[in-house]
Structure 1
Amino acid sequence: MTITANEPKVSVVVPAYNPGPYIEKLIISLQRQSMPRDQFEVLFVDDGSTDETPARLDELVATEPNMRVLHIENSGWPSRPRNLGVDQARGEYVFFADDDDWFGDEALERLHACAHEYDADMVIGKMVGHGRGVPRELFRRNRFDATLENAPLIDSMTCHKLFRRSMLLDNEIRFPEGRRRLEDHVMVVRSYFVARRICVLADYACYHHFRRPDAGNVTATRLDPEGYYTNLREALDVVDGYTRPGPLRDRLHRRWLRNEMVNRLAGKALLEAPEDWTEKVAHQVRNIIRDRFSPGVAAGLPPRQRVVAYLAEQGRLGDLRSLAEWETGIRATATLDRRDLDGTVLTVEVSGGLVSGEQPVTFVHDEGRDLLTLPVPEVDADRADATAQVAAAKMDLVALRKETSEEVFLPVESRTERIPAPGGPPGAFHLVHRSTTRIDFATLNGGRTEGTWVLKARIHNCGWTLDTRLPKPVKVPADGVAPTPPTPPEPPRVPLQARIGRRIRRLLGVGTG
């Protein structure tokens, strides 16, 4: 596609509905972009807002030549505003942003430069979650030829990405309109299949994904299971239309089984949901497992998720609840064994593992297999088999910048040890992970290191990915310079009344014991 002089490189499409003051952070981030103003445009599509948003946007676009606003009657969902935004956009690429999220200062420039250099149809910029999850594993490293086969693209199903506009138009890729769920999934998974090249830009925090405190979660009581899982089947239809039965289809289907089904029937999500809602979800999950999934889909899950899928299929709601109660006690624990600072380089050694309550998560080696110990009766060894997961279990070390919530994976040397479980059955053991990293604050995060950095241990094992923060945050006064040495803790101050009492006792010659 040839860009003429008056065509922007990127069009940012923002559906807006009653964001109130939360839209201001997005506006400021767009005004701060390093990409020149004449190279990108912003198209706000006001979906019939009833607050001050229409007036605020009119005021904004009157002073910003590269910003436009389209006012429409309320459609009730972001799909129609996004579709209209694509129709009205003039850029070679389109980025879909939400009205309460925001961009990193260099996001559009970096995303477009990546797309231009690699002639990509899609670029997925690193996302930072604020009160909501993001696909962290996808952003472990840059990927300039990512596919559904060689990268965990399927973990990222929101539309907050850079799309070549001609790809969307030529393939008639649209968001399904109307009040419905998972509209992103249908649009994004189609795009994954038709895109000629997809890049993942992981070395810069491009997009900050925010959960408003007044929005809350999409709770069980507001999610209609029948409608939700009908919409989910539409995403599965897209996958089935582009794949044949086999390992790839199973792996892609597994994403929906894991995220949209198993995770709603496990842990706190299950325990905090009304029982009648849980029954409806389990019914829908059971039907999809039986109607749509080959045996390989559930078989590829880690053991505890595999067991949840099995219990849901069997309608064993009581056992699902027992498993959820046990799982809420699972947490990561880690010890800082060494911490040496030499100039800009910090060397850290950490040991850690998973615990249930106060006891390590336990496995039993039996007849050549490692089985996860679960508090559920009548679960066969095939479903409890954790051999592959035990072999792959590991502990990452991650640096978190407190001011921005950016996360950076640190290079680690690591090993995992099997420790016999005293008092357990024959063959019982637990895992201890040991990881070492050297962090050079002259180069970490591309040299963008000013701020306070918290180190975290992230343990991956049997479908759990759990974090625990390590003590002694690192404070860096400016980009690329050495961290400030930790300040020794001040001795506790003696209360004034106690000091007066001691003084009186000394004057009276009474012991101060």
Structure 2
Amino acid sequence: MPVKVSVVVPVYNPGPYIEDCVASVLRQSLPRDEYEVIFVDDGSSDGTPARLDALAAEYPHVHVIHQEPSGWSGKPRNVGIEASRGEFVMFVDNDDFLGDEALERMYDYGVANEADLVVGKMAGKGRPVPVELFRRNHPRATVENAPLMDSLTPHKMLRRSFLDRTGLRFPEGRRRLEDHVFVAEAYLRASNISVLSDYVCYYHLKREDASNAGFQRFDPVGYFANLREALDVVERYTEPGARRDRMFRRWLRNEMGERLRGNRFLALPDDYRRELFDEIHKVIAERMGPAVFALLDPAHRVVTELAGAGRYEDVLALARWEASIVPSTAVEGVTWDGGALRIGFSAEYSADGAPRTYPADAGVVPPDGPPATVADAVAWLDAGTVERFGKAKADLMVRERETGAQFFQPVSVTREKVPVQDAPGRVRLVVRVTATVDPATAAGGTPLGAGLWDAYVRLGIGGWNREHRLFPVSGEPRPALPSPGVIGGHRVLPYWTVKDSFALDVDRAGKRLGLGTLRAGDFTVPGDRLHAVLPIHVVDDVKALVRLTGPAPAAEVLEVPATLSPAEGGGAVLDAPLPVRSLGKGRWRLALCPVADAPEPRFFALPLVVHDSPAGPKVAEDRPGAARRFVRRLPLPVRRALVRAFGKGRPALLEGE
């Protein structure tokens, strides 16, 4: 078969951090005879060369190239390009990994859209990744119609014929921003760019030792000399005007303005901070004109104009003022609406623990150049924020805790200027949001996978665009949360974390399902059937299982099919047959599996037993014996360790723990 994709992985002393990368490229859904993996070992001195050679000996589609150390990733990537045989080339770093279907999905998407370059959705664990770029799929993206400039890392798929036709290669040697130079030129010369946003293709991980290249402190002189090369590329392939200004805005905002703001700037040592400022000042003064400043939001515009004027002390004072500004949220209610959760909340910015206030009317014309004083800068910034409040945004994202995969959820937004009682002429800028989280479609149109999903609010007002966990109102009781639900074959539990942030537990919940609150009076046994209304939300009939475990020592186990149906007033009606003739003497403990057709059905113990009586089967409270009481008094981690130790053959006294 022709090779569809060549995966190029530059490697230098990754140690154990390469294992996730290796595992991910080996388990790709694309058939192994349709892709190849090229590891380019750039002079590693750890055990990696031998590890890669063994891998290549075992897998015919894995190849290894060893070379002398080159100092950075540019040359290994270029060597990989030259060795590649694929229709497309995909670049992966040795301490990151791919989604299982990444190559297949990105290749098919690129072919379908005749793309020279495919950008796959990214997730970050401990490190930031582009967010706005992946709101939706962009089959034909450009720097004008999509925020492509948010993603200048090389972890993309490019058509090999495009690379050869343009002669596009990475700058080599020990240098910074070689990826910016490469990707900026690719964006400007590609016939089409496609952005795939409905599947997480690439996972960026921050090493525990924080030794990723992007996390190392850089030499400002060399760094901004390399940044000028990226600006040179843009000038080479664009005419003066809106397109060039739009691209320049990215470097002015991210690589310069952001580095001078708030705690990020204040945390630097004095001498390094001054050196960084001086180099940023030079680039702004040399290359950035008024048209680029005009594209920035107020906060970035103020700080970069001050930097362009060389006013270090004012930039430092502005950073001190800004350091206390943080987003805050207030959950107002969470309810089930059919199969979706409706989450109402408000969001605004606070400073020093109190809501920020602004002038009620903007009425301030942007200054012609940098403000005269820091006070003037703050006044103009606040006025500009009020003026742009009609464009303020607030989004809700759900982020999987283990991998960092995140997805936007549908929201409706209203914006409110709230008068401040004790300060006439001042207002709070509050964004009110109703978000819809449908567990069956919340992961880019597909169901949320098993895991813990944290809710994050992304709030953009003026120049502040920050993420914040979704919290209730500080100092007030937490709003009540709805019952867990069984939606689309998954158990979905809304819950408050130990730090009072909102999260969803999908297919992981144990006792928090709330079944431990059931009592004998909640159950009836008409004839040979078991009925109860359970605190579980369902939309349609759901197939479940009921397990009955007989008394020791035999501890016979019977499982019967059950149904969970929507109940009037909320909850689910449990209906299950009781195998009366099979129930011997003694007390049979009850357990429920809410999703019978789950890949790994899980039973949850009910604090109840069924026993026979002259009048027929009855439900009673489960009064555990001494052994069970002892186990239940053990700390939760100890009980979980016992469950893991015994596995499927665990004693009945551990059932449901």
Q: TM-score, normalized by length of structure 1?
A: 0.89
Greater mean deviation of Cα atoms: 72-81 or 380-389: 380-389
1:485 positional shift: 6.5
Partner of 1:463: 463
- Contact in 1 for aligned 2:362/2:387 (Cα 8 Å): no
Question: Are residue 481 (structure 1) and residue 490 (structure 2) matched?
Answer: yes
Partner of 1:414: 413
Name the CA shift for 1:245/1:423 in 2 (closer, same or farther; >3 Å). Answer: farther
- Contact in 1 for aligned 2:298/2:381 (Cα 8 Å): yes
Q: 1:91 aligns with which of 81, 86, 90?
A: 86
User: Aligned with 2:388: secondary structure?
Assistant: helix
User: Aligned with 1:264: secondary structure?
Assistant: helix
Query: d(CA) in 2 for partners of 1:32 and 1:289?
Result: 46
Query: d(CA) in 1 for partners of 2:259 and 2:98?
Result: 30
Partner of 1:170: 165
Question: Are residue 39 (structure 1) and residue 38 (structure 2) matched?
Answer: no
User: Aligned with 1:405: secondary structure?
Assistant: coil
1:295 positional shift: 0.6
- Contact in 2 for aligned 1:185/1:235 (Cα 8 Å): yes
- Contact in 2 for aligned 1:8/1:40 (Cα 8 Å): yes
Partner of 1:386: 385
Greater mean deviation of Cα atoms: 111-120 or 381-390: 381-390
Q: 1:355 aligns with which of 342, 350, 369?
A: 350
Partner of 1:377: 375
Name the CA shift for 1:488/1:140 in 2 (closer, same or farther; >3 Å). Answer: same
Query: d(CA) in 1 for partners of 2:30 and 2:11?
Result: 23
Report the number of matched residues: 486
Q: 1:248 aligns with which of 234, 237, 243?
A: 243
Partner of 1:449: 449
Name the CA shift for 1:399/1:417 in 2 (closer, same or farther; >3 Å). Answer: same
Question: Are residue 433 (structure 1) and residue 428 (structure 2) matched?
Answer: no
Identity of matched residues, %: 46
Deviations 1:467-509 (A, max 9, x none): 2223579988897535247538999xxxx9xxxxxxxxxxxxx
Give the structure with the higher percent helix.
1
Partner of 1:510: none
Question: Are residue 14 (structure 1) and residue 9 (structure 2) matched?
Answer: yes
User: Aligned with 2:158: secondary structure?
Assistant: strand
Partner of 2:592: none
1:452 positional shift: 2.2
Name the CA shift for 1:374/1:294 in 2 (closer, same or farther; >3 Å). Answer: closer
Partner of 1:123: 118
- Contact in 2 for aligned 1:13/1:43 (Cα 8 Å): yes
Name the CA shift for 1:90/1:488 in 2 (closer, same or farther; >3 Å). Answer: closer
Runs of 4+ aligned structure 1 residues displaced above 6 Å come to 217-221, 472-479, 488-491
Query: d(CA) in 1 for partners of 2:355 and 2:457?
Result: 16
1:315 positional shift: 2.6
Query: d(CA) in 2 for partners of 1:65 and 1:477?
Result: 44
Q: Supply the AA of the counterpart residue of 2:103.
A: L
Q: 2:63 aligns with which of 38, 51, 68?
A: 68
Q: 2:74 aligns with which of 65, 72, 79?
A: 79
Name the CA shift for 1:157/1:197 in 2 (closer, same or farther; >3 Å). Answer: same
1:300 positional shift: 1.9
Name the CA shift for 1:216/1:345 in 2 (closer, same or farther; >3 Å). Answer: same
1:386 positional shift: 2.8
Name the CA shift for 1:38/1:346 in 2 (closer, same or farther; >3 Å). Answer: same
Highest CA radius of gyration, 1 or 2? 2
1:462 positional shift: 1.7
Name the CA shift for 1:319/1:216 in 2 (closer, same or farther; >3 Å). Answer: farther
Query: d(CA) in 2 for partners of 1:122 and 1:428?
Result: 49
Question: Are residue 395 (structure 1) and residue 394 (structure 2) matched?
Answer: yes
Task: Indicate the RMSD between aligned Cα atoms, in angstroms.
Answer: 2.7
1:222 positional shift: 3.5
Structure 1 segments unaligned to the other structure (5+ residues): 497-513
Structure 2 segments unaligned to the other structure (5+ residues): 472-480, 496-511, 518-632, 634-657
Name the CA shift for 1:325/1:488 in 2 (closer, same or farther; >3 Å). Answer: farther
- Contact in 1 for aligned 2:339/2:487 (Cα 8 Å): no
Query: d(CA) in 2 for partners of 1:68 and 1:488?
Result: 49
Deviations 1:34-77 (A, max 9, x none): 11101110000000000000000001110011100000000010
Query: d(CA) in 1 for partners of 2:483 and 2:162?
Result: 45
Q: Supply the AA of the counterpart residue of 1:403.
A: E
Name the CA shift for 1:206/1:401 in 2 (closer, same or farther; >3 Å). Answer: same
- Contact in 2 for aligned 1:220/1:274 (Cα 8 Å): no
Q: TM-score, normalized by length of structure 2?
A: 0.70
Which has the bigger relative contact order, CA under 8 A and spacing at least 6? Answer: 1
- Contact in 2 for aligned 1:123/1:162 (Cα 8 Å): yes
1:325 positional shift: 2.2
Partner of 1:506: none
